[in-house]
Structure formats: C-alpha cells, structure tokens
Structure 1
Amino acid sequence: MNPTDNHEQLAALMDRIANHRDKRAFSQLFAMLAPKINAFGNQRLNQQGLAMDLVQETMSRVWTKAHLYRPEKAAVTTWVFTIMRNQCFDMLRKVQHNREDAFGDDIWPMIESEQAQDDDTDFLLSDSLLQHLDELPLQQKQVVKGIYLQELTQQELADKLNIPIGTVKSRLRLGLQKLKSYMEPHHD
C-alpha cells in the first residue's frame, strides 16, 4: 500500500468515526496507530504501563474529538500524533509532580508526640528540621513554610506572595534540596 492510499484510508476511517460514531472504523484506526503510539510512549515514558496508558488516553481523545478533525489542515497521523504528544507531556508533568511530592515527603521527617492522647497519633515537626528551616534563605523559607506549615497550595502561595507559580515551584524545590542536605547526616 502506498502512502497516499494509507492517508486516504485513515481519512475515510476518521470520517466514519466523526460522522457516524462507527466503532468498527475506530477499531481499525486503533489497530493501525496503537503500535506507533505505544513505541513512542515506551521511548519517552520508559515504562510499558505508562506507554499503554498513553495509547488509551490518546485514542480515547481521538474518539471523543473526531468531529474536530479537518483533513484539509493535517493528515490523520499528524492530528493523532499531536494529541499523543500533548498527552505525553501531560503525563510527564504528572510524573514529575508526583516525584516532587514524594521528594518533599521523604525529607519532611515527623516524630510521634509524647503528648498523644488515646490511640490518636499526633505528629510534630522535629526540632532539628525547624532549626534547619530557619537556615534557608528568606525566599525559600517563606515558600517551604507556606506549603508545609500553613498548608497553602502552590497557587495560593503564589497569589499571597504576588509571584509566578513557577517561582514558587523553583523556590520549593531548592529549599527542599537544601533541607535534605542539612538533614542527611542527622537522619537515620
């Protein structure tokens, strides 16, 4: 099959999906594009499970947004791979965000309070951590305290400090890295 025939076949499948919600056409399109999306996902996400999630998310969007496809603007593969790329970026951002959250949890040691009542466990920040928190530069200390002590969201803190959310994220990451380096020699 030459490339022109393939483009025409894909365009015909998209037309049937968009205008008739044709499940058989979607199944054919899925079979044709899923291996390429999976290969891209494996290459970018480095996990087979995430690659399969990328296939599912991409093709779900293709199904729900098929009516938006315009053959005069792009080939079907270009349109689908643009959806795939955007979905991949979203997944990478989510993975990075989860890593940052886990990193923050790892270095935020808490100790059991001796004053806990009944079976409830009350946690207090260790004195050592609070001491090291005060050693951070003022801007990083503001952000770490805002997120972890005042329990503000990053957006709430950005609004409160009148700075971009990206600046909050950078200061938080730097502050957490410094806290971790302060705590490592003292932490078992």
Structure 2
Amino acid sequence: MEDDDTQDLSICLVKIGNARDKVAFATLFKWFAPKIIRFGIKTFNNEASAKELLQETMTKVWKKAHTYDETKGKASTWVYTVMRNVSFDMLRKIQSNKEDTISDDIWPMLDSDENNNEEAYPDHLMSRTMSDHVEQLPDNQQQVIKGVYFNELSQEQLAKQLDIPVGTVKSRLRLALAKLKQYIGEDS
C-alpha cells in the first residue's frame, strides 16, 4: 500500500466519522471488502461466514468511525483491528454453538421403558421416597401415576394405552393422589 492510499483511507474514515459520508464509506468498503472476505474464508472456511464478517466489520466501522484518531495509527490498522475483534466474536459464537450441540450429545435421553424404572430419576431429591410410596399403591393406581407423572402421558393417552375409559383413569388418579398425600403427609 502506498502512502497516498493510506492517507486516502484515513481521510475517508475521518469523513465517515465526522459527516457520515457515504461516498467515503463506499471507497473504504471497496478497498477492504476483498481483503476481509479473503481473511474470512481463511478463518471460517466458508464464504457465508466470510460475508458475515465483512458485513459486521463494515457496520462497526460505520458506527464507530468517530472514534478513529489518525494521529494514533493508520486507517488500515484500525479497520483490521475492528475486523479481528468481530472475527473473535464470531468464533466465540461458533464455539458456543458447538458446546450446546455437544451437551445435547452427552446427556442421555430417557426411553419410555426407562421412565417406569426408579433409577431413571436418581438426581431428584425425593425420587427414592416417592418411588417407595408409589410402590405401595395398588397396581392399577401405580400404572396411572407412572403414566401421567413419569411418562407424561395425558389422561386420554393413558386410557387408550391401558384400554380403559378416561373416567376410570381419572378415578384411579384421584384415589392414588389421595393415598400418596396420606403417605407423604399433609405438610409435604
């Protein structure tokens, strides 16, 4: 880059900062766009992210041009610093999204067969106690409690699964909850 080009870029940046000069911004954009795209493709390994880097960088240049001080450095250094910071933000965002995906992969999903099993809830404070209380219920009431609360089935779904009327599911559920309330105690 020649000194004239460096001076022209600084003048453009000052004009953008002071007067929101669109012609100066177009000049700056035309100069930096291919360089930022090239850097973005090298960094992110895809053109879409490179274009996003260009857009974010130049948006920040437009918004923050008033903070540029030509006595402290070249315009190109200032723009590349903005670009570098934007690319770090994008990389952090990408890394964060990868970590979200990884967390989905490492947490096991419980199958409905496992939901009937008290080991499926080892981390719950009351799970052991609650499972003991549920086990004291008659079988038909256990089925309803486990279906509605552990397997999160609607009463209609459970009635269909057990091949009984919805009213029977509701009655069994009401009786089971009353017994559990007695087992656990009024205060709990």
Give the fraction of aligned pairs with identical amino acids, expressed as a percent: 46
In 2, distance between residues paired with 1:120 and 1:3? 78
Cα displacement (A) at 1:23? 1.0
CA offsets 1:91-144 (integer angstroms, 9 cap, x no match): 1111111111101101222135453222999xxxxxxxxxxxxxxxxxxxxxxx
1:110 alignment partner, SS class: coil
Q: How many residues align?
A: 120
Partner of 1:5: 4
Q: Secondary structure at the match of 1:40?
A: helix
Larger Rg: 2
Alpha-carbon separation, structure 1, partners of 2:41 and 2:108:
35
* CA shift in 2, pair 1:11/1:120, >3 Å: farther
- 2-11 or 84-93, larger mean C-alpha shift: 2-11
Q: 1:55 to 1:119 in 2, by over 3 A?
A: farther
Cα 1:73–1:100 change in 2 (3 A) is same
Q: CA deviation at 1:51?
A: 0.7
Residue in structure 2 matched with residue 109 of structure 1 by the alignment: 108
Tell me the alpha carbon deviations over residues 135-177 of structure 1, each in whole angstroms, 9 at most, x when there is no partner: xxxxxxxxxxxxxxxxxxxxxxxxxxxxxxxxxxxxxxxxxxx
Q: 2:87: which partner in 1?
A: 88
Taking structure 1 as the reference length, what is the TM-score of the superposition? 0.60
Give the superposition deviation at 1:14. Answer: 1.0
Q: What RMSD in Å do the two structures reach over aligned CA positions? A: 2.0
- Give the AA of the match of 2:84: R
Task: Give runs of ≥4 in structure 1 deviating > 6 Å.
Answer: none
Structure 2 unaligned spans of 5+: 113-146, 158-188
Partner of 2:24, secondary structure, is helix
TM-score of the superposition, structure 2-length normalised?
0.60
1:116 counterpart letter in structure 2:
E
Report the alpha carbon displacement of residue 27 of structure 1 after superposing the two structures with TM. Answer: 1.1
Deviation at 1:70, TM superposition (A): 0.5
Query: SS of the counterpart of 2:110?
Result: strand
* 1:130 corresponds to: none
The residue matched to 2:152 in structure 1 has which SS? coil
* Distance (whole Å) between structure 1 residues aligned to residue 88 and residue 46 of structure 2: 15
Shift of residue 36, structure 1, vs aligned partner: 0.4
Range 110-119 or range 24-33, more displaced: 110-119
Distance of aligned partners of 1:80 and 1:120 in 2 relative to their CA distance in 1, 3 Å threshold: farther
